Amino acid sequence: MEKEKYKLCLYIAGQTQKSQNAIENLQNYCREHLEDNYIIEIIDLIQHPHLAEGEQIIAIPTLIKKLPDPIRILVGDLKDKEKFLVGLNLVRQ
């Protein structure tokens, strides 16, 4: 039985340093801990502002883990690896 892929949506606003850091951190953590078992979608709210309301985004960058359940939300540039791993339920505290 194939494991369910992680679906991760990262909401950013433009190509700021904080946005770039969040993208790089997310990609690095996924490569290291999820191998090929993930899909990353990066949504720039400058280009698609209507998507912020649907997901109730109030701060950026925001990462939403849509799959597998339960949904998890992390805010910030994801520089704290331990917070990322615990937040996505990849390790226990």
- What is the rounded average pLDDT for all residues in the chain? 90
Task: Set out the domains of the chain in order of their start, with CATH numbers.
Answer: 14-87 (3.40.30)
If pLDDT is split at 50, 70 and 90, which confidence band does 2 have? low
Q: Where are the alpha helices (DSSP H) in 1-93?
A: 17-33, 50-55, 81-87
pLDDT in tens, 50-64: 888 888 888 999 999
Q: How many angstroms separate the CA atoms of 55 and 91, rounded?
A: 26
Using DSSP, state whether 82 is helix, strand or coil: helix
CB 10 within 8 A of CB 63: yes
